[in-house]
Amino acid sequence: MKLTRLTALPDGFLDATARDLHQLIDGPTLIHLPGRRTPELFVSVLLHGNEDVGLVAIQQVLKAHAGRELPRAMSLFIGNVSAAQTGMRRLDTQPDYNRIWPGTVVHAGTPEAAIAREVQAIMLQRGLFASIDIHNNTGLNPHYSVVSQLDAATLHLALLLTRTVVWFRGPQGSQTAAFAPLCPSVAVECGKPGHPANEAAAARFIEACLHLAAFPEHGVREPDIDLYHTVALVKVAPDVDFGFGTPQRPLNLKAQLDHLNFVELNAGAAFGDTALAMPLDVRDEAGQDVAHTFFDTGDGTLRLKRPAMPAMLTLDEQVVRQDCLCYLMERVPFATVQQADRSSVAAKP
Stated pTM of the model? 0.91
At 108-158, the pLDDT tens digits run: 999 999 999 999 999 999 999 999 999 998 888 999 999 999 999 999 999
pLDDT tier for residue 170 given thresholds of 50, 70 and 90: low
Instruction: Measure the CA–CA gap between 56 and 170, rounded to whole angstroms.
Output: 27
Among residues of the chain, what percentage have pLDDT more than 70?
97
Q: What does the pLDDT look like over 183-236, one tens digit per residue?
A: 999 999 999 999 999 999 999 999 999 999 999 989 999 999 999 999 999 999
Instruction: Tell me what pLDDT residue 344 has.
Output: 65
Give the pLDDT score at 340. 77
CB 279 within 8 A of CB 291: no
Architecture of domain 4-224: 3-Layer(aba) Sandwich (3.40)
* 262-287 mean pLDDT: 95
Q: In whole angstroms, what is the distance from residue 162 CA to residue 154 CA?
A: 13
Contact 167, 150 (CB under 8 A): yes
- Is residue 64 a contact partner of residue 33, using CB atoms and an 8 Å limit? no
Q: With CA atoms as reference, report the closest residue to 56 among 167, 203, 180.
A: 203
Report how far residue 54's alpha carbon sits from residue 310's, in angstroms, rounded to the nearest whole number. 24
Residues 6+ apart with CB under 8 A from 316: 138, 139
The model's confidence at residue 339, banded by pLDDT at 50, 70 and 90, is confident
Query: Is 310 a residue whose pLDDT tops 90?
Result: yes
Output the pLDDT for position 341: 67
What Å distances lie between residue 30 and 4, 6, 81, 308, CA to CA?
A: 6, 6, 12, 39
To which H or E segment does residue 131 belong? strand 128-135
Give the Cα separation of 67 and 69 in Å (integer): 7
Q: Could you state, in order of their start, the residue ranges of all structural domains in the chain?
A: 4-224, 232-329
Distance between CA 304 and CA 181 in Å, rounded? Answer: 35
Conformational region of residue 144, where left means phi above 0, alpha means psi within -120 to 50, and beta covers everything else: beta
Q: What is the pLDDT of residues 144-157, one digit of tens each?
A: 999 999 999 999 99
Rounded Cα gap, residues 101 and 96, in angstroms = 10
Q: Report percent pLDDT > 90 for the chain.
A: 89
* 152 contacts 341 by C-beta, under 8 angstroms: yes
Q: Which of 134, 156, 171, 155 is nearest to 42 (CA)?
A: 134
Instruction: Look at residue 346 and tell me whether its pLDDT is greater than 80.
Output: no
**224-237 pLDDT per residue, tens:** 999 999 999 999 99
- Please state whether the peptide bond connecting residue 171 to the residue before it is cis, i.e. omega within 30 degrees of 0: yes
Residue 25's alpha-carbon distances to 18, 77, 92, 147, 162, in angstroms, are 11, 12, 21, 30, 32
